[in-house]
């Protein structure tokens, strides 16, 4: 039986712990009961805390533990749930967890995180040089804090060697189904998904994400330019306009913008325009042609392709899913 350890800590998201425990403990069980067959449990799951005492989750629920963090050394798979409390406080308060996480890969165990739990893996150095994902809303903070990690916030699940990460919020069920499939096989995972009525086909966070300011930097010139772009993105813009606003030469502008934001000015302007279109699609019935013109494009078809590239959905699909 596969041994799974879920790391409990104060300020964690309760559902990311209890939900994963339900998925693993009922893999091979719920479907069998529905079919009036003999259950065949696949996983043994334990919740581990610093001292084996109960942990208080961000929603006020207290969960009893089965053991201590040190007991993770007996697990095949170690899972870090979502950080629900203030990020810096949780990271500093649980710095003694980091050595336990770091040694898991060394001893041959697999590690997984959900949502902002990736911050704890990165803080422990487990994600150095690896591909990872985290909640899209914290991606800029993550990239600024851990530049050695190849962060892809548009992806719902990443797997790099023995480490898997899931994106935001309720992505723990996608991660759980993936891990059940990996350890127990596709059939068990499909049966689990059907039993829990889970749509296991999601692959991207992009439809849910909004543009972040990308201002985890200390460059006042680029900060000023970003503020200007947020007001002027609908206009035809070229590099000369941006140089005039900043007083920088073209090469200096491009270098400083990339260093500060991790992006190019051209791509950043695209994101601003797509974000403005998203807001219109969500809150109005304005025809797509008018939205396209309002955000600075003339051709509806080309803008629709750009919109799909950034969100994973066509404008029509996006409005159908997120519109009022």
254 phi and psi angles, rounded to 5 deg: -65, -40
Confidence bin at 302 (pLDDT 50/70/90): very high
Mean pLDDT throughout 83-89? Answer: 93
User: 11: closest CA among 42, 70, 56, 68?
Assistant: 56
pLDDT range class, residue 207, cuts 50, 70, 90: low
Provide the pLDDT for residue 170.
82
> 94, 92, 100, 223: which is closest to 145 by C-alpha?
92
Distance CA 28, CA 39 (A): 6
| Phi and psi torsions of 55, nearest 5° | -115, 145
Highest-pLDDT range among 29-33, 97-101, 205-209: 97-101
For residues 234-238, average pLDDT: 92
Q: Cα(268)–Cα(215) distance, rounded to whole angstroms?
A: 12
In degrees, to the nearest 5, what angle opens at C-alpha 181 toward C-alphas 183 and 174?
Answer: 120
Q: What is the mean pLDDT of residues 86-107?
A: 93
Tell me what the mean pLDDT of segment 137-161 comes to. Answer: 91
Average pLDDT over residues 174-187: 91
* Residue 29, helix vs strand vs coil: coil
Percentage above 90 pLDDT, the chain: 72
Element holding 316 (H helix, E strand)? helix 315-322
Please report the domains of the chain, with CATH numbers, ordered by start residue: 2-208 (3.40.50.880), 220-322 (1.10.10.60)
Least confident of 170-179, 187-196, 212-221, 258-267: 212-221
Predicted TM-score of the model (pTM) = 0.74
What number is the average pLDDT over the span 251-276?
90
CA 118, CA 298: separation in Å to the nearest integer?
A: 41
- Write down the pLDDT at residue 9: 95
Nearest to 110 by CA among 178, 168, 169, 167: 178
Listing DSSP states for 265-283 in one string gives HHHHHHHHHHHHHHHHHHH
Q: What pLDDT shows up at residue 234? A: 92
Rg (CA), the chain: 22
Tokens of 103: 């040694």
**pLDDT value of position 203:** 64
Q: Return the percentage of the chain with pLDDT > 70, whole number.
A: 94
Nearest to 139 by CA among 47, 214, 240: 214
**pLDDT above 70 for 200:** no
**How far is the first Cα of the chain from the last one, in angstroms, to the nearest whole number?**
47
Residues 45-81: tens digit of each pLDDT:
999 999 999 999 999 999 999 999 999 999 999 999 9
Residue with the larger pLDDT of the pair 167 and 217: 167
Q: What is the mean pLDDT of the chain?
A: 91
Number of Cβ within a 10 Å radius of residue 50? 19
Angle formed at CA 87 by CA 219 and CA 202, multiple of 5 degrees: 95
Residue 208 has pLDDT above 80, yes or no: no
Residue 202 clears pLDDT 70, i.e. is over it = no
pLDDT beyond 90 at 211: no
């Amino acid at each position: 039986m596969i041994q799974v350890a879920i790391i409990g800590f104060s300020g964690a998201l309760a559902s990311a712990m209890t939900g994963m425990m339900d998925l693993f403990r009922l893999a091979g069980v719920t479907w069998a009961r529905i079919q009036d067959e003999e259950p065949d449990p696949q996983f043994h799951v334990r919740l581990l805390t610093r001292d084996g005492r109960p942990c208080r989750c961000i929603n006020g629920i207290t969960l009893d533990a089965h053991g201590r963090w040190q007991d993770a050394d007996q697990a095949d798979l170690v899972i870090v749930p979502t950080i629900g409390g203030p990020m810096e406080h949780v990271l500093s308060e649980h710095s003694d967890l980091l050595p336990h996480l770091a040694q898991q890969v060394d001893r041959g165990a697999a590690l997984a995180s959900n949502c902002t739990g990736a911050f704890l893996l990165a803080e422990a150095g487990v994600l150095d040089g690896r591909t990872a994902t985290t909640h899209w809303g914290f991606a800029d903070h993550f990239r600024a804090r851990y530049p050695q990690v190849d962060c892809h916030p548009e992806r719902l699940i990443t797997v790099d060697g023995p480490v898997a990460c899931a994106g935001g919020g309720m992505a723990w069920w996608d991660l759980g189904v993936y891990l059940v499939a990996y350890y127990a096989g596709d059939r068990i995972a499909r049966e689990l998904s059907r039993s829990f009525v889970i749509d296991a086909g999601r692959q991207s966070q992009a439809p849910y994400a909004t543009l972040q300011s990308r201002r985890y930097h200390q460059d006042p010139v680029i900060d000023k330019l970003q503020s200007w772009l947020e007001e002027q993105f609908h206009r035809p813009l070229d590099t000369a306009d941006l140089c005039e606003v900043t007083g920088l030469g073209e090469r200096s502008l491009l270098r400083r913008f990339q260093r500060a934001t991790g992006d190019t000015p051209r791509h950043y302007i695209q994101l601003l325009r797509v974000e403005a279109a998203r807001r219109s699609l969500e809150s109005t019935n304005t025809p797509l042609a008018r939205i396209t013109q309002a955000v600075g494009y003339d051709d509806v078809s080309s803008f629709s392709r750009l919109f799909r590239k950034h969100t994973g959905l066509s404008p029509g699909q996006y409005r159908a899913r997120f519109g009022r």
